[in-house]
Amino acid sequence: MLKCFATSEKGAAMVEAAIAMTLLFLLTLGFVDFGNAFYQWNAADKAVQYGARLASISDPVATGLAAAAPTTTPGAPVVAGAYAPFVCSYTAGVGSCSSGGFSATSFSRIFRGDTSFSDSDDCPIRTGSQRPGMCHFFPFLTRANVVVTYSATGLGYQTRQGGPVPTITVRLRNVNFQFFFLSGLLGFGNIAMPSMLSTVTGEDMKSTAP
Portion of the chain with pLDDT greater than 90, in percent: 43
Number of domains in the chain: 1
Give me the pLDDT at residue 207, please: 43
Q: Is the pTM of this model over 0.85?
A: no
* Residues forming a β-bridge with 209: none
Per-residue confidence (pLDDT) for residue 138, from 0 to 100: 94
Decide if 160 is inside a domain: yes
- What pLDDT score was predicted for residue 104? 94
Inside any domain, residue 4: no
Contacts 24+ apart (CB under 8 A), 177-182: 177/37, 177/40, 177/41, 178/36, 178/40, 178/140, 179/33, 179/36, 179/37, 180/33, 180/36, 181/29, 181/30, 181/32, 181/33, 182/29, 182/30, 182/33
Q: Which domain holds residue 86?
A: 10-201
> For residue 5, is it within any domain?
no
- Name the helix (H) or strand (E) containing 88: strand 86-91
pLDDT of residue 155: 86
Whether 1 is covered by a domain: the verdict is: no
Give the pLDDT of residue 209. Answer: 40
Residue 124 counted as domain residue:
yes
**3, part of any domain:** no
What is d(CA 169, CA 201) in angstroms, rounded to the nearest whole number?
A: 9
pLDDT digits (tens, 9 = 90+) for 115-142: 888 888 888 888 888 899 999 999 999 9
Which residues of the chain are modeled with pLDDT < 70? Answer: 1-12, 184-186, 204-210
In a domain, 2, yes or no: no
With CA atoms as reference, report the closest residue to 65 among 171, 156, 196: 156
> What pLDDT was estimated at residue 2?
54
Does residue 75 fall inside a structural domain?
A: yes
Give residue 187's region: left, alpha or beta (phi > 0; psi -120 to 50).
left
